[in-house]
Structure 1
Amino acid sequence: MSSKEARLLKLNIRPLWYATPVNTDGTPDHCLLEQLLRYAIAVADCPPGRFIPYIQLHEFEALLFSDVSILTRIASGWLSAHVALAAICAAVESPEQINGLPETKPAAHLERALSHPKYRKRTHAPSAAQKIGLAKIEAKCAFFAGGLAHIRK
């Protein structure tokens, strides 16, 4: 193990997650967490350009709510779920905010609404994300868009 790796291992930022200030919606301040990760990398003398911190706000499936009409056209039996999924989107400012309890996480919403055929993350999510496209996801999900913008620099 190199001295850089040893110094990085000594930095225990996990307690910082639990002590991180929260936003008005009760979620951890991810911008602060990303700054803490950048600091940990700098303290460990790692080249900062080799590590780009990004913490997905909630589950990946939240990003699929960026375009419910495309999502519900992935499988022919899903069209009837459009109204229910659109209502979930209408209740929040951004798909990234869809979460809460285990039964209200994005995947749980999709598993309940998309049942014929049953929604399967490994099968349906890649196809849905590709058909929705990054442009639409970025337009609806500002935090995700910010992460991609940082990578593109």
Structure 2
Amino acid sequence: MIDYIVAYTDENMNDGKISQLLRGSFTLKIDKSNCYDNPDIKVVFSEKGFLFQAKFNNCESKFKDTMTMFALSLAYREKMEYYLNLTSSIIDKENYHDVIDIKKDFYVFNLKYFFSNPIHYNYQQKHTIWKIIFHYYNILEQHQELKIQIENLVDILHIEQNQ
């Protein structure tokens, strides 16, 4: 189990202090790939969580929105890891009937729950923060890798059936 750091502050912190808080070292490079910096808030993401810096009062709802988006990214990543483990273990069992069930389950998950940007573009700040989260944590790449693995399993199933 990974412990995540989610921090809210109204203190103006420099990059070194943010890195120290999120990573325990000064090695976190903070740039547009992992940081949203606006006149009202600054949000910095790392592999273990994020720091939300409020530059004005009453930013708690924006913090909660960011925390919800981060939690959604964790849910996406956990679900994809689950499927990756499932696909890698099923090949050893040679129970290819499960392959179709996995593929169907994955497609249902995609149709019901997986969206590259679940935030409406009218909510520009949240929309932009989600895009940072989505790219920084490589969610699309993980999703594509999983899709390819499931397709490969189906291909193996077809090969086995044709032999």
Shared fold per TM-score greater than 0.5? no
- The TM-score, its normalising length taken from structure 2, stands at 0.27
* Structure with a larger share of its residues in helix: 1
- The TM-score, its normalising length taken from structure 1, stands at 0.29
